[in-house]
Structure 1
């Protein structure tokens, strides 16, 4: 079992690994190295049970993940109290293509739809799903004002930003409760964002911790997954790494890698 970490100042405690669910709802236009078949309900239910038994309490979804939200609304029935649910708004995916809308009207519509799909009265965490124009989204659309209003109304417990640039991440860290940041052994450009969040008490979730299956190692005998897990979970300020998988064996391997990384961090400290 893994010890849960504080998610910034939100008051929530999250497992060091979170379960990413894009593969439960979408297999078009994804960046994984190998094609995959979306699991049926029995397989998906077994995966979620495996995650829960392994100590994972954070589950990540989005409207852009095909029908992931709708499926989770059914698969998590009767389990709502066991999960911290993170969803997103701003990106839509239809007919194999993404489209983006960050207006206040669309964000309200999207979040209300996520609540309905997920069969819940509230989202623990809602992130803006950036198209890469991070600073423009923050300034032009004043997205954090909209999210703060919905937080006050009880629709969400905490809000934040899943960005793609260091500049955008640093700006978002001034306003958000939580940021989702790309970080792995092959990409560390956003390390300053993690450091700023750590200083300001902003929670940090890591995406692409395993580079969407594209990790490589400089040394043939090194395990690239363990290397990246050591880096990500050893970084001060990181609350959790979101890892997407539909294979329970891979999930348990990731849990073992994460546990080893956390033991290494503890020994170093």
Structure 2
């Protein structure tokens, strides 16, 4: 499991931790509690019958492994003076995924944004509104950074493609060929890279995705575009070395596998959390 990446937002003067984890983003209820006047605890919120009802509905919608039987027992007791429930008990008894309590470096109680917003309402309606606003701003900033990184890698890939095509022209295309023959050679070499990185040719991708606009490179991830840019330069050098296409394909495929493993393993440390496509 990838290590969580910590970011933060400030809501009405209170700094609130947001963890980007392998299974989503979680907002610190422990930090949010600092904004509530008086001596209150998260367990006080969990005692509320409306809270339990909301948590149960959310888990039923989002969690296929939610223990509805245990939830029914908890719901029947919610609101009683003797009723007590901790986040740990809630998770252990019902298999809930929306709340989590942990110790260590990222210790505290964290909640899925949907549940954190509900907790924000318990603090105050105004706090909830500002919490949603700041969280949305954080998401927009993350989306913008991802878009900039994607466009940069796409540009690098296009620049390296020129190096790639020049190597093809200088070494693989004999003189006096037609424009159509030259274009076919460029397409063949582009597909060599496609197969090495994506495991399929441009035509195979198009046949499998008839409703998508653009080509497979337009739908590639940031990591794939970065590896593609590297491979275009490497293939240009291999062409200058007069390596046969089969040998180049095997070498480039091995390089693509190695670089993708490295990049995807470190993605959580380099970039904010992003949703799976």
Q: TM-score, normalised by structure 1?
A: 0.26
Q: Which has the higher strand share?
A: 1
Instruction: Choose between structure 1 and 2: higher helix proportion.
Output: 2
- Give the TM-score taking structure 2 as reference length: 0.25
